[in-house]
């Protein structure tokens, strides 16, 4: 009892029990803290008495991007890359096919701003001015004007100059081989990867005649896997093209031969209504689109990515390069909508 009474008269005991309004911070929490708030935890100390640093944040794995082909829809890749940069996502590697190779190469070369500015200023009239018809060659367009525009900003840049690994996927027209370009001239490799057969002239690289890589690998997830990348994110530009894989039973009907134009002064006979003509280029592009869609379905089923970003672009045509502003926004919104899942995957696979 005497010890307890003596202890009650001690100042430090009074303070500890809330009897004093003057506190010693090193001995007890404040009265307000005792009544209403949770007292703060003291700083962690090491064995020597020094304060220990805060726990390090959970490690995160960098991502590898597989940027798919899709002609004009490829401007959506710009929006995806902008979103990843804004969120602070580290990119360890990029593999690109067709327009994906163009955007990925410009990004790693530090020229994404220039490419975006070029895309946003495109109009139908300006696009037509960039087309250099080359009827006597192996494609309708020579691609010289487009190459000249790239050389204004990227002349002399090689794969070896890039800060991260980069692979352009192309197809060898004579053998059908899938070609992975990862050294040499960056512009040459990007040109080969987007050389749509029949539209652009094939590109010769070290005695191999190369065309668009989407013929063999439209979304190059397998390239990232071969480079032992842990977290592979694919950007598939053909996801919402519904109905392309359907099988439909149909009747051939009667044989219909389109007659020549009626003779002068003679009224034409009743003929079936003509649908809007696609033109030679339109037929080639749409046929290529079908091939690309079927191949990408098969390859992604056999070697799926860890995550797919699938911007909804079915309402935008493959040749509508003048809709860059809309496409970039769709790509950005798609990536931001899945950013929380992507960051969670980074932590899980770290």
User: How far is CA 349 from each of CA 50, 57, 62, 300, 345, rounded to the nearest angstrom?
Assistant: 34, 15, 9, 21, 6
* Rg from Cα positions in the chain: 31
Query: How many C-alpha atoms does 94 have within 13 Å on its Cβ side?
Result: 30
| 213 touches 171 (CB < 8 A) | yes
Reply yes or no on whether 212 is catalytic.
yes
User: How far is CA 155 from each of CA 95, 150, 162, rounded to the nearest angstrom?
Assistant: 21, 7, 13
Judge residue 313's burial from the number of C-beta atoms within 10 Å of its C-beta, 0-12 exposed, 13-18 middle, 19 or more buried. buried
317/278 Cα distance (integer angstroms): 12
The 3-state DSSP class for residue 36 equals: coil
Q: Identify the active-site residue in 98, 171, 296, 308.
A: 98
DSSP state of 122: -
- Least Cα distance to 169 among 206, 237, 223, 104 occurs for 223
Reply yes or no on whether 98 is catalytic.
yes
Residue with tokens 């829809």: 73
342/346 Cα distance (integer angstroms): 6
Q: Identify the active-site residue in 212, 293, 296, 308.
A: 212
Work out the number of other CB atoms within 10 angstroms of the CB of residue 159: 19
- Least Cα distance to 115 among 160, 144, 82, 68 occurs for 82
Catalytic residues: 98, 212
């Amino acid at each position: 009892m005497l010890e307890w009474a003596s202890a009650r008269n001690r100042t430090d005991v009074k303070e500890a029990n809330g009897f004093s309004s003057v506190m010693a911070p090193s001995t007890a929490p404040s009265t307000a803290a005792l009544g209403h708030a949770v007292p703060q935890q003291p700083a962690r100390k090491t064995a020597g008495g020094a304060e220990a640093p805060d726990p390090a944040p959970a490690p995160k794995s960098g991502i590898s991007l597989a940027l798919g082909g899709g002609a004009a829809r490829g401007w959506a890749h710009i929006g995806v890359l902008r979103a990843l940069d804004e969120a602070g996502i580290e990119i360890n590697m990029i593999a690109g096919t067709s327009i994906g190779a163009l955007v990925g190469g410009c990004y790693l070369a530090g020229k994404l701003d220039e490419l975006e500015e070029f895309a946003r200023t495109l109009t139908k009239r300006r696009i037509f001015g960039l087309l250099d018809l080359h009827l006597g060659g192996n494609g309708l367009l020579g691609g010289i004007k487009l190459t000249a525009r790239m050389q204004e900003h990227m002349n002399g840049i090689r794969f070896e100059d890039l800060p991260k690994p980069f692979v352009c996927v192309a197809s060898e027209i004579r053998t059908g081989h899938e070609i992975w370009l990862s050294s040499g001239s960056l512009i040459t490799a990007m040109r080969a990867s987007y050389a749509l057969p029949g539209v652009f002239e094939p590109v010769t690289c070290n005695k191999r005649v190369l065309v668009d890589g989407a013929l063999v690998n439209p979304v190059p997830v397998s390239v990232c896997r071969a480079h032992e990348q842990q977290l592979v994110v694919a950007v598939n530009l053909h996801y919402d093209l519904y109905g392309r894989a359907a099988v439909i039973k149909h009747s051939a009907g009667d044989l219909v031969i389109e007659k020549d134009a009626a003779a002068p002064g003679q009224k034409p006979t009743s003929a079936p209504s003509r649908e809007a003509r696609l033109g030679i280029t339109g037929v080639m592009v749409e046929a290529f689109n079908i091939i690309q869609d079927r191949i990408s379905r098969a390859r992604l089923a056999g070697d799926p990515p860890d995550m797919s970003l699938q911007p909804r672009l079915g309402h935008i045509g493959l040749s509508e390069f003048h809709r860059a502003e809309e496409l970039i926004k769709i790509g950005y919104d798609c990536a931001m909508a899945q950013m929380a899942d992507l960051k969670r995957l980074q932590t899980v696979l770290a």
